[in-house]
Amino acid sequence: MKVTPWEVEGEVDYSKLVKDFGVSLINDRIKKRLDGTHPLLRRGIYFSHRDFDKWLDNHDKKMKVSVITGRGPSERMHLGHLVPFLVAKSLQDSFNCNVYIPISDDEKFYVKENLTFDDALEYSKDNILDLIALGFKPKRTFIFEDFVYTKMYKYAGMIAKRITYSTAKAAFGLKNESNIGWSFYPAMQAAHILFPQFNEGRHLSVVPIGIDQDPFIRLTRDIADHKDFNFEKPAALHAKFIPSLHGNPKMSSSKEGSIFLSDSKREVEDKIKKYAFSGGGSTIKEHKEKGGNPDIDVSYQYLRMFFEPNDNKLKKIYDDYKSGKLLTSEIKEILIVKLNKFLEEHQDKREEAKDKLREFMLKN
Amino acid sequence: MKVTPWEVEGEVDYSKLVKDFGVSLINDRIKKRLDGTHPLLRRGIYFSHRDFDKWLDNHDKKMKVSVITGRGPSERMHLGHLVPFLVAKSLQDSFNCNVYIPISDDEKFYVKENLTFDDALEYSKDNILDLIALGFKPKRTFIFEDFVYTKMYKYAGMIAKRITYSTAKAAFGLKNESNIGWSFYPAMQAAHILFPQFNEGRHLSVVPIGIDQDPFIRLTRDIADHKDFNFEKPAALHAKFIPSLHGNPKMSSSKEGSIFLSDSKREVEDKIKKYAFSGGGSTIKEHKEKGGNPDIDVSYQYLRMFFEPNDNKLKKIYDDYKSGKLLTSEIKEILIVKLNKFLEEHQDKREEAKDKLREFMLKN
Q: Distance (Å) from the C-alpha of residue A250 to the closest C-alpha of chain B?
A: 28
CA distance A57 to B347: 58
Question: A106 vs A109, A172, A195, CA distance in Å?
Answer: 5, 15, 16
- pTM value is 0.95
CB nearest A154 (choices: B150, B154, B175): B150
Class of domain A265-351: mainly alpha
Question: What pLDDT score was predicted for residue B262?
Answer: 97
Partners of residue B151 in chain A, C-beta under 8 Å? 150, 364
Q: Beta strand A141-145 with A98-103: parallel, antiparallel or unpaired?
A: parallel
Neighbours of A20 (CB within 10 A): 12
Of the partner residues A150, A166, A178, the one whose CB lies closest to the CB of residue B154: A150
- Averaged in consecutive runs of 10 residues, what is the pLDDT profile of chain B (364 residues)? 70 87 95 97 96 98 98 94 98 98 98 96 98 98 98 98 96 94 97 98 97 93 96 97 83 76 97 95 94 95 97 98 97 98 98 97 95
Instruction: Return the pLDDT at B338.
Output: 98
Put simply, the answer to whether B164 touches A186 (Cβ < 8 Å) is no
**Counting beta carbons within 10 angstroms of the beta carbon of residue B182, is it exposed (0 to 12), middle (13 to 18) or buried (19 or more)?**
buried
Q: In this complex, which of A110, A154, A169 lies closest to B147 when CB atoms are compared?
A: A154
Residue A13's pLDDT is what?
A: 87
pLDDT tens per residue across span A226-285 = 999 999 999 999 999 888 898 876 666 666 789 999 999 999 999 999 999 999 999 999
Going by the DSSP 8-state scheme, the letter that residue A138 receives in this structure is: G
Short-list B277, B282, B312, B309, CA closest to B296: B277
pLDDT at A105: 98
Alpha-carbon span A137 to A139, nearest angstrom: 6
Residues of B in contact with A176 (CB under 8 A): 164-166, 169
Mean per-residue pLDDT for A48-53? 98
Residue A104's pLDDT is 98
Q: Is the ipTM of this complex over 0.90?
A: yes
pLDDT of residue B12: 82
E strand segments, A180-329: 204-210, 235-239
What is the total residue count of chain A? 364
Sign of CA dihedral A127, A129, A130, A135: positive
Nearest CA in chain A to B229: A117
Taking an 8 Å cut-off on Cβ atoms, the answer to whether A179 and B157 are in contact is: no
Q: Give yes or no for a contact between B261 and B32, defined as CB atoms under 8 angstroms apart.
A: no
Q: What is the dihedral of CA A308, A311, A313, A316, to 10 degrees?
A: 120
**Per-residue confidence (pLDDT) for residue A257, from 0 to 100:** 82
A9-50 pLDDT, tens digit each: 777 888 888 999 999 999 999 999 999 999 999 999 999 999
Residue of B nearest to A177 (CA): B164
Going from N- to C-terminal start, the domains of chain B cover 2-242, 265-351
Q: Average pLDDT in the A183-197 region?
A: 98
Which chain B residue lies closest to A111 (C-alpha atoms)?
B161
What secondary structure letter does DSSP report for A49? Answer: E
Residue A82 has pLDDT above 90, yes or no: yes
Rounded to the nearest integer, the mean pLDDT of chain A is 95
Q: List beta partners, residue B208.
A: B237
Query: Does any CB of chain A come closer than 8 Å to the CB of residue B152?
Result: yes
B166 in A contact zone (CB under 8 Å): yes
The rounded distance, in Å, linking the Cα atoms of B223 and B186 is: 12
- Which residues, other chains included, contact B31 with Cβ-Cβ below 8 Å and sequence gap of 6+? B42, B44
> How far apart are the C-alpha atoms of A234 and A100, rounded to whole Å?
13
Number of inter-chain CB pairs under 8 A, A vs B: 124
Residues 107-126 of A with CB under 8 A from B: 109-110, 116-117
A153 and B CB contact within 8 Å: yes
CATH of region B2-242, choose from 3.40.50.1970, 2.60.40.1220, 3.40.50.620, 3.40.30.160: 3.40.50.620
CA B291 to chain centre: 33
Considering only CB atoms, which chain A residues are within 8 Å of B179? 160-165
Q: Which residues of A78-94 are buried (b: 16+ CB within 10 A; e: fewer)?
A: bbbbbbbbbbbbbbbeb
Rounded-to-integer distance, Cα A7 and Cα A346, Å: 30
B364/A161 Cβ within 8 A = no
